[in-house]
Structure 1
Amino acid sequence: MKALSIVVERLAWVSVLIGGIGLLISMILGVADVIGSYFNHPVAGAYEFTESTMVLVVFGGLTYAQIKRKHIRVELLYTHVRPRLQSTMDIIAGLAAITFILLLLWQGINEAQYSLEIDEATSGLIRFPLYPARFALVFGASLFCLQLILDLVEDIQRLAQNRGGREEDLMPVDADNL
């Protein structure tokens, strides 16, 4: 299990890196397009490239954010309930997330296959194929789902051991109020 976690973390880091590089290139193309438009020479394909690259940026970072447990969550009740209930809440949230991502993944695979079959591309001055972005979505969603499953196993283990949320997620206890 630990070896799988290491592989997933490395793949997530590579995905974030590729997404970051794509974002940087998109930013440069966007600036060049704006400046070029000012002089009546916009950059052809800047919009289409940026559109496809956003899939890398979003789905490249999902898994890494999950590994660090940095997704937004509401903790109005979470920090004020007992450890078993915290673990139960984590398990329910994990199952809901896995269900949603599996549905997204199912449709993403269908769309990626269809896009490849018909050689789908953008309609613009430069035709960008759309299937690489669709397969990037499938890869990112698959990696994210795998990390969610690993976290679910960890949450179930914490429930069995009567422990609450991860120590780094819990608020520090004030020694004066004990």
Structure 2
Amino acid sequence: MNNRTETGLPHVLTSGAIRALAFIAGAVLFLLMLATFADVVGRYFFNHPLLGTYELTQLALALIIFSALPWVTWKSEHVEIDFVYTRLSPRGKKVNRICVDLLVIGIFVLVGYAVILQGIKAQASGLVTEDLGIELYGAIFYMALCCLMSGLMVVQKLIKDATHD
């Protein structure tokens, strides 16, 4: 989002939640590093790897990616290919931004909804990890929440752009 200073309760709540998710992503990454280190040390020095490292790694990577998604969206740090965008007129750029933002909102909502459905299925079936028996529905619902929050970030950006142009 542009480098303007934003104020107001919605911005404070949103930025606080997004910063908390970014902190979670960093903390999970740190814990993943510790688990990998413990697994390597256990495997090569004690001939006893850390049980469940593979599934912890899978779960941690999903949590890192989805936790960082709202932050990346909030900061508008997604990879962009702008070779067409730079050739558009100012009006064309505005129309393009609105169309892309609406498409992205729709995608985040659809993905969030699909992930919620997967979470409901995982909860109903009692889906757990193989070695450690960790229930997966909580992580799945968390990923859905992160998708929906990312969509909310785009909605906020769209509203801000519409009121400042």
* RMSD over aligned Cα atoms: 1.7
Distance 2:136 2:87 in 1: 47
> Equivalent of 1:145, from 123, 147, 151?
151
1:71 is the counterpart of 2:75: no
Task: Name the residue aligned to 2:141.
Answer: 135
> For residues 1-178 of structure 1, what are the structure 2 equivalents within 5 Å?
2-38=8-44, 39-124=46-131, 126-158=132-164, 161=165
Distance 1:128 1:102 in 2: 27
For residues 53-89 of structure 1, give each alpha carbon's deviation from its aligned partner in whole angstroms, at most 9, with x where no partner exists.
Answer: 2222111111111111111111213233322211111
Instruction: For residue 18 of structure 1, give the secondary structure of its aligned residue in structure 2.
Output: helix
Kept after mapping to 2: 8 A contact 1:87/1:155: no
- Report the TM-score, using the length of structure 2 for normalisation: 0.87
**Alpha-carbon contact 1:49-1:128 (below 8 Å) kept:** no
What residue identity is the alignment partner of 2:80?
A: R
Q: Residue 15 of structure 1 aligns to a residue in which SS?
A: helix
More RCO (CA 8 Å, sep 6+) = 1
Q: Secondary structure at the match of 1:41?
A: coil
Deviation of the 1:141 alpha carbon: 0.8
Task: Report deviation, 1:142.
Answer: 1.4
Separation in structure 2 between the aligned mates of residue 96 and residue 128 of structure 1, nearest angstrom = 35
Equivalent residue letter for 2:88: V
Give 5+ residue unaligned stretches, structure 1: 162-178
Number of residues of Structure 1 aligned to a counterpart in Structure 2: 158
Give the whole-Å Cα distance in 2 for the aligned partners of 1:129 and 1:23: 20
Greater C-alpha radius of gyration: 1
